[in-house]
Chain A
Amino acid sequence: MTTTARQTGASASPYALTHLDALESEAVHIFREVAGEFERPVILFSGGKDSIVMLHLALKAFAPAAVPFALLHVDTGHNFPEVLELRDRTVAEHHLRLHVAKVQDYIDDGRLRERPDGLRNPLQTVPLTDTIRELRFDAVFGGGRRDEEKARAKERVFSLRDEFSQWDPRRQRPELWSLYNGRHAPGEHVRVFPLSNWTELDVWQYIARERIALPEIYFAHRREVFRRAGMWLTAGDWGGPKAGEPVETRQVRYRTVGDMSCTGAVDSDAVTLEAVITEIAASRLTERGATRADDKMSEAAMEDRKREGYF
């Protein structure tokens, strides 16, 4: 093959890019803009599919050189072991530098208190913003996509955060063409979202096309789960189940990977990438609507957390 673009039947033009090639090209452009304009960028990396795709794009953007960014994982302490295993394997394979900010450390020394509902995702904001400040990161890549949530649909690709990491949706910079404005004052930083224009299905199709390795929890497997707030949660040391929450073994998989306290599994028989793609294409539920407790707290849950510095 002498060209990367697949020529398609949908357009008469021999130069039309497929949607995946167009999205890939745009994301690579965003990575290179940040490398060209910022001093200390970092990639938020959880070992979930979006951050794995982000890292894959960064590897392509700078090949054959190394990715010129470090990684940062905000560890809630309630992670799936399979995800941490893949995180560490990936870091070693590509000789990357990984920073880990631990929610557990903040709870242990009293800077954060465990929430009554046991959710730890909302607690990530403080360790995240502290680490950005302490390590003086000026650009922070996140795998957020605009299709995930209606507040995220309003997010810029380059999103300026003040010295408190806050997002002010009414004071966003207009963003035109592919001219991204990354200027910021000392203490401020920019959140950068190279996957802004990708959908859940795009991410899966890209994973299939590029043969990207994922944690096994994304594929159907038998697992001990229990029902809470309409979701199947994994039983484990993190705090579930409580009395009256019977454990069952079910064939499930995960559509999204947050921490175990707020990420629900879906019943599924999809054991291959192709089956996962077919399942998502037919699903009547959104990724987050199906399985994320943290978004269900209120109509503006995501917007409110983003304002405080969450992704």
Chain B
Amino acid sequence: MTGTTSPITAEQLSATTLLRFATAGSVDDGKSTLVGRLLHDSKSVLTDQLEAVERASQVRGQQAPDLALLTDGLRAEREQGITIDVAYRYFATARRRFILADTPGHVQYTRNMVTGASTAELAVVLVDARNGVVEQTRRHAAVAALLRVPHVVLAVNKMDLVGYEESVFTAIAEEFTAYAASLGVPDVAAIPISALAGDNVVEPSANMHWYGGPTVLEHLETVRVGHDLTACPPRFPVQYVIRPQTAEHPDYRGYAGQIASGLLRVGDPVTVLPSGRTTTIAGIDALGSPVDTAWAPQSVTVLLSDDVDVSRGDLIAPTAHAPAVTQDITATACHLHERPLRVGERVLLKHATRTVKAIVKELPYRIDLSHGLAHEENPAALEVNDIGAVVLRTAEPLPVDAYAESRLTGSFLLIDPADGATLTAGMAGEPFAARPQAPASDDDGWDF
């Protein structure tokens, strides 16, 4: 086992990195068992939690402790034996700490998986080895591709029920990897497991000598994360203006925010959008102490050389790589609310730190994820869990990136102005990376 039971020193622990990942699986693929085993074997299920599960299982007349009760936190979930909502779980090994977005496979799967995948750096897609790649698997792969989750793990589960046959695994892995590649998923790791028997989840399997790769946990511990954002052009949405106006800091005027992508350096020439004013970065305060360089996703305070007008909602970007500002946004949308989204609807659009009025101009198509991404042209509305294209006109210009370039400055929410409900999640640009692309220098139909 990878050091999960040996004592961990405080120093080791604070040097670890954080991996956010999401799980996706259909009802009977064994997702709860996999999550339960990861939590259990990494010492994240503690005695009193297990006792509570045992007690509750007995009350329900169940023979064995029902590990789903560990994760089903709501009364209604336990009563109905279903998972309603995304839950977040936490566990750690000596090498890494994990935040797991545990997304239900049953009801409203698209909305929930989109929610979990939006912050995930890795998605685990579960497949039942007996059934292979099914409609749900393709849906999960499509959502991971749509949300541009950088790493996908295909966990081929229940290998014990197919005699641990290499050929079964290889066929499923090849079919899935080809489908994922067609969606533009850059990186798939396929792992044959039995969550129930414990094969290749935490411990290497004694039953599959033909498999030479890592276990699920080893892969989660070692997959490289955290470098993609810093390779992108810098984007700094201004959240809040810090002006102490004290005797000690009479003239301090700092722009606070979390770096959405890229690196910021003192001395960089920058442009403030949407005004287009240019200046340079005079200083960067990283939560109280000055630094020369800062990068995504650090929260910092930026000081500018010139006294330009900057306020919450503005975006600071390098002058050489500033995004265009536009009032016409074409995006892929996942509709989240029971109230349908229709053409002509007036909404609020929250992009980074700015919220503006917007109108739905067009719904060009709806994607049917279950049938090889078939398009339905000009649907009457986007219903809950629908994924489709949306064309919006905003009341003010916005610096929107392609979601493929920046998950934070390429995404937005649509909000109902009447009651504040979150209606729709938007990702600017084309849905899938592998759709036919124009030469790199051309405008390939994205909105900026």
A residues lining the B interface (CB < 8 Å)? 1-6, 8-13, 15-26, 28-29, 32-33, 35-36, 60-66, 146-147, 149-154, 160, 169-170, 172-179, 181, 183-185, 196-197, 199, 201-202, 205, 208-209, 274, 277-278, 281-286, 289-290, 299-300, 303-304
Contact = CB atoms under 8 A, between A and B. Distances in A.
Nearest to B49: A286
A235 B181 CA distance: 65
B226 A35 contact: no
A169 B425 contact: no
Contacts of A173: 421-422
B353 interface: yes
Contact of A18 (B10, B16, B85, B244): B16
B299 A32 contact: yes
A303 B73 contact: yes
A65 B14 contact: no
Nearest to B312: A36
A16 B244 contact: no
21 contacts: A2-B292, A4-B289, A8-B17, A9-B15, A10-B17, A13-B226, A16-B225, A18-B15, A26-B297, A32-B240, A62-B242, A63-B285, A154-B85, A173-B421, A174-B115, A177-B119, A179-B412, A205-B14, A208-B10, A274-B10, A282-B7
Contacts, number: 259
Contacts of B287: 4, 24, 28, 60-61, 63
A56 to B, nearest CB: 10
Interface string B414-448: 01000111100100000000000000000000000
Residue with the highest number of chain A CB atoms closer than 10 Å, among B287, B292, B413: B287
Interface in B5-22: 7-10, 13-18
A179 B298 CA distance: 16
Contacts of A197: 88, 90, 99
Nearest to A65: B244
Contact of A181 (B7, B95, B350): B350
B196 interface: no
A176 B115 contact: yes
B411 to A, nearest CB: 5
A176 B413 contact: yes
A283 B288 contact: no
A62 B297 CA distance: 17
A265 B16 CA distance: 30
Given A154-B87, A173-B421, A17 B297 contact: yes
A245 to B, nearest CB: 23
Nearest to A153: B87
Given A36-B240, A174-B111, A18 B118 contact: no
Interface string B209-245: 0000000000001001111011000000001101111
Contact of B293 (A2, A20, A170, A181): A2
A150 B240 contact: no
B17 A16 contact: yes
Contacts of B245: 65
Interface in B383-433: 407-408, 411-413, 415, 419-422, 425
A289 B48 CA distance: 6
A161 B73 CA distance: 19
Contacts of A18: 14-18
Contacts of A33: 239, 353
Interface stretch (B130-138, B248-256, B268-276, B359-367): B248-256
Nearest to B222: A10
B320 interface: no
Given A15-B295, A22-B18, A66-B244, A150 B72 contact: yes
B413 A278 contact: no
A284 B46 contact: yes
A300 B69 CA distance: 12
A147 B76 CA distance: 20
B75 to A, nearest CB: 5
Nearest to B425: A176
B92 interface: yes
A290 B48 contact: yes
B256 A61 contact: yes
Which are the 7 A-B pairs with shortest beta-carbon distances?
Answer: A183-B420, A289-B48, A150-B73, A16-B226, A13-B227, A19-B18, A65-B244
Interface residues of B, number: 94
Residue with the highest number of chain B CB atoms closer than 10 Å, among A23, A160, A175, A282: A175
Given A18-B14, A201-B13, A176 B226 contact: no
A151 B17 CA distance: 27
Contacts of B155: none
Interface in B170-216: none
B291 interface: yes
B319 interface: no
A283 B47 CA distance: 9
B422 A150 contact: no
Contacts of A61: 256, 287, 299
B411 A65 contact: no
Nearest to A20: B14
Nearest to A9: B15
A261 to B, nearest CB: 20
Contacts of B76: 169-170
B420 to A, nearest CB: 3
B312 to A, nearest CB: 5
B82 interface: no
A169 B85 contact: yes
Nearest to A28: B299
A8 B227 CA distance: 13
B226 A183 contact: no
Contacts of A4: 286-287, 289, 291, 294, 298
Nearest to A25: B299
B258 interface: yes
Interface string B277-319: 0000000011111011111011101000000000010000000
A65 B422 contact: no
B84 interface: yes
A5 B92 contact: no
B239 A36 contact: yes
B96 interface: yes
B106 interface: no
B14 to A, nearest CB: 5
Contacts of A153: 71, 73, 87-89
Contact of B258 (A35, A154, A178): A178
A286 B348 CA distance: 42
B48 A35 contact: no
Given A28-B299, A36-B312, A64-B249, A150 B71 contact: yes
Contact of A289 (B52, B249, B256, B298): B52
Contacts of B88: 146, 153, 196-197
Contacts of B95: 10
Contacts of A205: 10, 13-14
Given A28-B299, A64-B288, A170-B84, A281 B7 contact: yes
